[in-house]
Amino acid sequence: MKATYKKYILDFKRASGTSRGVLTQKETWFLILENHGELGIGECGLLKGLSCDDVPDYEEKLKWTCDNIHLGKDALWKQLIDFPSIQFGIEQAFLSLKSENPFEIFSSDFTQKESPVAINGLIWMGDEDFMREQVQMKLQEGFRCIKMKIGAIDFESEIAMLQAIRKIYSKEQIELRVDANGAFAIPEALPKLKILAALDIHSIEQPIKQGNGYDMRLLCAETPLDIALDEELIGVFDVTKKEELLQTIQPQYIILKPSLVGGFKGSLEWIKLAKKYNIGWWVTSALESNIGLNAIAQWTYTLKNDMPQGLGTGSLYTNNLQSPLVVAKGNLYYKNNQYWKTNLIQELCI
């Protein structure tokens, strides 16, 4: 078996703002396997400034992975515990290699019968006009769940936008989620949560920065709206440590980004524990290309979670790889009348 890797730079159609800054490009890496003429592909979706494996020797670790591909998926996964994005790439690549169609790694009604996955519409940070424009577009496109990133502009303007939505749409008509990406200062977090709760917000992701377990526990105990842990899960590899975190903080939800938490296996460890402690969960992509998004979407469908998932990121880029993934009326579909480029993997090998 032979393994190679390829760096790929994704270009955003429009600069996309988060509380950690503005994104114009996204670096990702493809892991490609070849065995007796068969090809498999996986994506190692690194997020600069957020992934715990965003380290100077990342490419060196990819090279090591390719040099040791003979060890197999399970042994490599264990040895790459500090590199969750590569763990995920390994899982995808081996599944892809053994599949009749290298892009269909979980055959289901999603891939065979165009059964959809419900998703949220994502509102990026920006100036007030830009955010209002996005909200109107998502509503016109038929989304019934909208997630708005907050923390970049002033809180009053963000609240005004949410109020404008609520004046027209009740919580039964439109589910509103917000994502603070850790932007709230600890002393101001609970008062802001109370303001948001008055607008029938479904949940807030990561209101304060990760690593403040005691304060997050207090927030989750006192919050008037549900809190979802996101960044808090990053860098927690050991199953015992995962359980300790959930026992300590006792959140209402956790959010799983396979590229950031060790792929399918790492995510399933979190899901098992969440079920044990009656904690809700959903899956979100981490700005992967359509290769990684496709794998996440196919896997997510098999989990049979009816909540809207965070998988609507495929259209963000000018140079994404053509795929059958299509967003329509708040759902993600795998359209059988659209195809992957037949020689896509070969082209990426060049």
pTM of the model: 0.95
3-class secondary-structure state, position 329: coil
Q: Catalytic residue among 138, 147, 149, 242, which?
A: 149
Q: What is the DSSP letter of 307?
A: S
> Residues 330, 118: contact at Cβ < 8 Å?
yes
C-alpha span between 65 and 87 (Å, rounded) = 10
H/E element holding 51? none
What the chain holds in terms of domains, given with CATH numbers, is 2-103+343-349 (3.30.390.10), 109-334 (3.20.20.120)
Q: What is the dihedral of CA 169, 170, 172, 177, to 10 degrees?
A: 80
Are the C-beta atoms of residues 271 and 246 closer than 8 Å to each other? no
Q: How many Å apart are CA 268 and CA 258, to the nearest integer?
A: 9
Whole-angstrom distance, CA of residue 239 vs CA of residue 242 = 5
**Separation between Cα atoms, residue 275 and residue 158, nearest integer Å:** 33
Query: Would you call 257 a catalytic residue per the annotation?
Result: yes
306 vs 30: CA distance, rounded Å:
30
Q: Which residues contact 213 (CB under 8 A, 6 or more apart)?
A: 245, 248, 249
Give the residues across from 326 on adjacent strands.
333
CA–CA–CA angle 114, 119, 124 (5° rounding): 135
The tens-digit pLDDT sequence of the chain (350 residues) is: 999 999 999 999 887 665 556 778 999 999 999 999 999 999 999 988 889 999 999 999 999 999 999 999 999 999 999 999 999 999 999 999 999 999 999 999 999 999 999 999 988 777 778 878 888 888 889 899 999 888 877 899 889 989 988 988 899 999 999 999 899 999 999 999 999 999 999 999 999 999 999 999 999 999 999 999 999 999 999 999 999 999 999 999 999 999 999 999 999 999 999 999 999 999 999 999 999 999 999 999 999 999 999 998 888 899 999 999 999 999 999 998 888 988 899 888 86
Q: Output 275-279 pairs: Cβ under 8 A, ≥24 positions apart.
A: 276/243, 277/246, 277/247, 277/250, 279/246, 279/250, 279/251, 279/252, 279/253, 279/254
